[in-house]
């Protein structure tokens, strides 16, 4: 990848057994760890940075800021190293951003992701010395005889997500949520723990949003913003004065694009529409590397339009809905006309397993599992889903202050379904991940779940900018979530009334029109019978496996049960 961290718990010789230092922009070698970094933003304030001294070394990969003040003469890596020497692991509770940090001091080394693990850290012990990195394929290539993990493959194909620390390769794992990696273990940290308190949650959120955006507003180069017509786009434009252009994926006549264009005009930025064409189905190795073998490439919405984005720095609103608007919080509802309409309150008796079964793109058709795996005891996809999900839910409950709602929020957040979107952006641009600012994560952890919703969010936006809703999102004409859902329903069922349009293509129809079955799985009639989204996931997984392990795809696809 163009943006990567790769390392070994060992000396330069152990590192050179896998990679050449010449492949990286910067290589650091200590007594206990050696690693390389590639990043065009290396040395930019708030971005990837390295520090060496006679006492040890430190690197911060990604986007990072101190919680509190830091002298202009001190880099973020030097600041973190000094904090770690004084405070130990608690120093990482004072580091803000989306990062992976590597520190060595006193002959001991550790690798620490940010508190939401927005940079996955993959690792393997197969070569002898523990190898780690941000590119799962690069880590896999150090494994002597990699084996496809059939259970993980089955989870991904059936549900679009994978659970726990497993990866597509049996010999490789990923660092657990809010944990750090050492030479021989993973160590759980306590940065992400729910602790609700009473406050003016609207005012708190407004101030934190403003500071989070302003921290990231001054990166050098041409600034662009991947935007929709939604709430996140308008607050980012309001506080990013140097954004030159907003980019929206869709057709020029769609409501989403029209409102996005109006927002850019309102805030003095140019607008460019990224056309949705057959490039939306780009399934090349170059694109599928960003799935890391465990997530859908379908989430890389802009993958066919990257060359149309004329920017050095890219902002986006990824995970604002998860952290601030309660995307994984179950709401109460009433059933009318065969449709469930939400009420303005949380479900008083939520069922986590059923909620997530309906939330994710699970394989509902048929009663058989479609991956051959002896370690799965379940007889049906739904049974397999519950068997996979509930142990992870119980882990989340331990950090959730006894709240089912908080445990569900954490579970959804820990899965990080759309992460390939940001991994691809970070590999091509200087990418800023505003939503995971430590102040916003802290707001999520300290705000009771009944206040993490659209009402609180919209009120916070209005306190920051009284004109922010001059142009309403096209599919949300009302302030009320319930009224918006009712109108969506009526537009779908009342004859002669046009439904809200969407910028996305009818990808199921286009899958058939483009003859994707013959392109992806020639001669596999048994696979052709599966739903299109399942087939796309399957291709993601098998193509990535071939890319990472040199295992021919037709051989790997034999894992799929015949019809």
Residues linked to residue 63 through DSSP beta bridges, in sequence order: 47, 98
Reduce the DSSP state of residue 364 to 3 states and report it: coil
Which tens digits make up the pLDDT trace of 105-118? 999 999 999 999 99
Could you tell me what percentage of the chain is helix, strand and coil, using 3-state DSSP and rounding each to the nearest 5?
Answer: 40, 20, 40
pLDDT of 489 > 70? The answer is no
Pairwise CA distance, residues 482 & 488, whole Å: 10
Q: Which residue has the tokens 């759309």?
A: 418
Backbone dihedral angles phi then psi of residue 309, each to the nearest 5 degrees: -95, 110
pLDDT of 162 > 60? The answer is yes
Answer whether 460's CB lies under 8 Å from 209's CB. Answer: yes
Which tens digits make up the pLDDT trace of 51-61? 999 999 999 99
Of the candidates 309, 304, 305, 299, which has an alpha carbon nearest to the alpha carbon of residue 243? 309
Q: pLDDT band at 42, cuts 50/70/90?
A: very high
pLDDT of 263 > 50? The answer is yes
H or E stretch covering 188: strand 186-188
What pLDDT score does 474 carry? 78
Of the candidates 518, 430, 501, which has an alpha carbon nearest to the alpha carbon of residue 276? 501
Residues linked to residue 346 through DSSP beta bridges, in sequence order: 331
Domains of the chain, CATH where assigned? 4-121+175-188 (no CATH), 201-325+417-493 (3.40.50.620)
Higher per-residue pLDDT: 371 or 1 = 1
What pLDDT score does 472 carry? 85
For 307, other C-beta atoms within 10 Å of its C-beta total 8
Answer whether 211's CB lies under 8 Å from 434's CB. Answer: no
What pLDDT score does 25 carry? 97
pLDDT of 397 > 60? The answer is yes
Q: pLDDT band at 563, cuts 50/70/90?
A: very low
Angle between helices 532-549 and 150-159 (to 10 degrees): 150
Average pLDDT taken over every residue of the chain: 90
Give the full edge-to-edge strand order of the sheet including 47-53. Answer: 47-53, 56-66, 95-105, 108-113, 179-181, 186-188
For 287, other C-beta atoms within 10 Å of its C-beta total 20
Which tens digits make up the pLDDT trace of 379-390? 888 999 999 999
Reduce the DSSP state of residue 519 to 3 states and report it: helix
What pLDDT score does 371 carry? 79
Average pLDDT over residues 250-261: 90
Pairwise CA distance, residues 351 & 476, whole Å: 28
pLDDT of 344 > 90? The answer is no
Which tens digits make up the pLDDT trace of 3-31? 999 999 999 999 999 999 999 999 999 99
Average pLDDT over residues 96-112: 97
HSE (side-chain half, CA atoms, 13 Å) at 77: 24
Answer whether 424's CB lies under 8 Å from 166's CB. Answer: no
Average pLDDT over residues 517-533: 87
Dig out the tokens for 256 from the structure.
């989403």
Which tens digits make up the pLDDT trace of 57-78? 999 999 999 998 888 889 999 9
Q: pLDDT band at 500, cuts 50/70/90?
A: low
Pairwise CA distance, residues 225 & 243, whole Å: 7
pLDDT of 40 > 60? The answer is yes
Which tens digits make up the pLDDT trace of 414-427? 999 999 999 999 99
Which tens digits make up the pLDDT trace of 273-314? 998 887 877 788 889 999 999 999 988 988 889 999 999 999
Average pLDDT over residues 174-194: 97
pLDDT of 80 > 80? The answer is yes
Of the candidates 411, 142, 157, 388, which has an alpha carbon nearest to the alpha carbon of residue 294? 157
For 312, other C-beta atoms within 10 Å of its C-beta total 15
Backbone dihedral angles phi then psi of residue 304, each to the nearest 5 degrees: -85, -5
Backbone dihedral angles phi then psi of residue 50, each to the nearest 5 degrees: -130, 155
DSSP code for 278: G
Pairwise CA distance, residues 452 & 413, whole Å: 14
Cα separation values, 67 from 11, 150, 295, 437, Å: 32, 42, 32, 10
Least confident span in 79-88, 170-179, 237-246, 248-257: 248-257
Is the Cα torsion angle 297, 298, 304, 307 positive or negative in sign?
negative
pTM, two decimal places:
0.93
First to last CA, the chain: 37
Q: pLDDT band at 553, cuts 50/70/90?
A: low
pLDDT cut 70: percent of the chain above it: 91
Pairwise CA distance, residues 379 & 115, whole Å: 36
Higher per-residue pLDDT: 359 or 97 = 97
What pLDDT score does 72 carry? 84
Q: pLDDT band at 482, cuts 50/70/90?
A: low
What pLDDT score does 526 carry? 83
């Amino acid at each position: 990848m163009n943006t990567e961290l790769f390392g070994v718990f060992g000396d330069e010789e152990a590192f050179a057994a896998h990679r050449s230092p010449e492949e990286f922009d910067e290589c650091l070698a200590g007594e206990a760890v050696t690693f390389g970094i590639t990043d065009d933003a290396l040395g930019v304030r708030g971005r990837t940075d390295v520090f060496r001294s006679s006492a040890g070394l430190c690197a911060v990969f990604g986007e990072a800021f101190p919680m509190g003040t830091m002298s202009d003469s001190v880099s973020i890596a030097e600041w973190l190293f000094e904090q770690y020497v004084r405070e130990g692991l608690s120093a990482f509770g004072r580091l803000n951003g989306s990062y992976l940090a590597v520190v060595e001091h006193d002959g001991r080394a550790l690798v620490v992701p940010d508190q939401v693990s927005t940079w996955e850290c993959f690792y393997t012990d197969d070569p002898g010395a523990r190898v780690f990195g941000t590119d799962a394929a690069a880590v896999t290539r150090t494994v002597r005889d990699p084996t496809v993990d059939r259970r993980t493959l089955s989870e991904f194909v059936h549900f679009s997500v994978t659970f726990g620390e497993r990866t597509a390769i049996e010999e490789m794992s990923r660092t657990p949520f809010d944990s750090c990696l050492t030479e021989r273990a993973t160590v759980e940290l306590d940065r992400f723990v729910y602790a609700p308190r009473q406050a003016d949650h609207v005012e708190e959120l407004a101030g934190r949003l403003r500071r989070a955006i302003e921290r990231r507003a001054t990166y050098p180069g041409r600034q662009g913003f991947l935007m929709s017509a939604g709430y996140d786009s308008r607050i980012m434009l309001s506080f990013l004065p140097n954004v030159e252009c907003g980019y929206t994926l869709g057709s020029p006549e769609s409501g989403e694009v029209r409102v996005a264009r109006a927002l850019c005009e309102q805030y003095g930025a140019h607008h460019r529409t990224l056309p949705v064409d057959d490039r939306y189905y780009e399934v090349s190795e170059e694109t599928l590397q960003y799935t890391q073998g465990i997530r859908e490439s379908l989430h890389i919405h802009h993958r066919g339009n990257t060359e149309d984005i004329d920017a050095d720095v890219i902002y986006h609103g990824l995970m604002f809905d998860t952290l601030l608007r309660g995307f994984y919080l179950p709401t109460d509802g009433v059933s009318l006309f065969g449709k469930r309409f939400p009420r303005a309150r949380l479900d008083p008796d939520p069922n986590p397993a059923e909620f997530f079964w309906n939330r994710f793109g699970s394989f509902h058709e048929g009663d058989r599992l479609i991956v051959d795996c002896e370690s799965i005891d379940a007889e049906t996809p739904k049974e397999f889903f519950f068997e996979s999900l509930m142990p992870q839910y119980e882990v989340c409950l331990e950090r959730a202050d006894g709240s089912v709602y908080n445990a569900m929020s954490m579970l959804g957040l820990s899965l990080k379904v759309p992460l390939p979107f940001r991994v691809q952006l970070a590999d091509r641009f200087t990418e800023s991940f505003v939503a995971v600012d430590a102040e916003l994560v802290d707001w999520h952890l300290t705000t009771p779940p009944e206040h993490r919703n659209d009402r609180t969010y919209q009120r916070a936006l209005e306190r920051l900018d009284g004109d922010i809703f001059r142009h309403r999102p096209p599919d949300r004409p009302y302030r009320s979530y319930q009224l918006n859902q009712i109108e969506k329903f009526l537009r779908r069922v009342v004859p002669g009334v046009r439904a809200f349009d969407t910028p996305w293509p009818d990808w199921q129809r286009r899958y058939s029109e483009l003859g994707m079955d013959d392109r992806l799985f020639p001669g596999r009639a048994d696979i052709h019978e599966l739903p299109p989204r399942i087939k796309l996931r399957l291709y993601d997984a098998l193509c990535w496996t071939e890319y990472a392990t040199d295992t021919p795809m037709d051989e790997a696809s034999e894992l799929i049960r015949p019809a």
